[in-house]
Amino acid sequence: MLFITVDLAAVTMSYKMVSFNNLFEINSGATFIFPITYALGDVVTEVYGYNMARKLIWLSLLLQFIFAILITIAIHLPSPDFWKGDAAYFAVFGSILRFVLAGTVANIISNFMNIYLVSKLKIPMEGKFFWFRSIISTLVSGFLLAAIIVTVGFSGKEINLIKTWIMFKSTYLCEIIYAFLLVIPAALAARFLKRSENIDIYDYDTNFNPFFIK
């Protein structure tokens, strides 16, 4: 539930532009929300295994699409004459379906790369160094996400090539910062769940095909 909540919050803030300083000069509001899903995905993979994390990702993608469809339908419904807020809703949510479709491609590539690395490295490392596996997986998957979502989701949205490059750098920098900030809470959560539920899955014979759902 937390994973999907964070996911939908990021979708909602996708076209909210944020600018702090030269480091975060051009960012989507989603940049400051979505990386939390990597930490949650790491915890699920570490404790419950790749299969459970794979189901979680596919369910979140399905719910993103339903969420975007419902909003798109709602903003196109006719409004009374006194209502003057249509332009604002279209500015914020008019392209949400496009962003979700772009995000689907990015999520399939980046999120599955994230959980694959956490799971695959767990075996040679004998379940240790979760913090290292989590950071490495987030850095790789975050790079892929930023490259795809910035290129596909924001091309033609009043952002030229130079601004696209600045946005990519700002987005990836945020991913790096989140990777280090969230690794300790994620490690503590994984340890707590392993002990409280007496479970610790190792994916020795797992089919890592993202499209294979048992």
**CB 39 within 8 Å of CB 59:** no
Domain ranges of the chain: 2-197
* pLDDT digit string, tens, across residues 38-49: 999 999 999 999
Identity at 94, one-letter amino acid code: G
Region for residue 61 given its phi and psi (left: phi exceeds 0; alpha: psi -120 to 50; beta: otherwise): alpha
* pLDDT digit string, tens, across residues 149-198: 777 666 555 556 777 777 788 888 888 888 899 999 999 999 999 999 99
User: What pLDDT sits at residue 174?
Assistant: 85
The residue behind tokens 């940049």 is: 31
Q: What percent of the chain has pLDDT over 70?
A: 93
Mean model confidence pLDDT for the chain? 87
* pLDDT digit string, tens, across residues 105-127: 888 888 899 999 999 999 999 99
* pLDDT digit string, tens, across residues 57-106: 999 999 999 999 999 999 999 999 898 888 889 988 888 888 888 778 88
- For 178-202, give one letter per residue: b (16+ CB within 10 A) or e: bbeebbeebbebbeebbeeeeebbe
User: What pLDDT sits at residue 135?
Assistant: 93
Q: How many CB atoms lie within 10 A of CB 125?
A: 12
The residue behind tokens 């993202």 is: 210
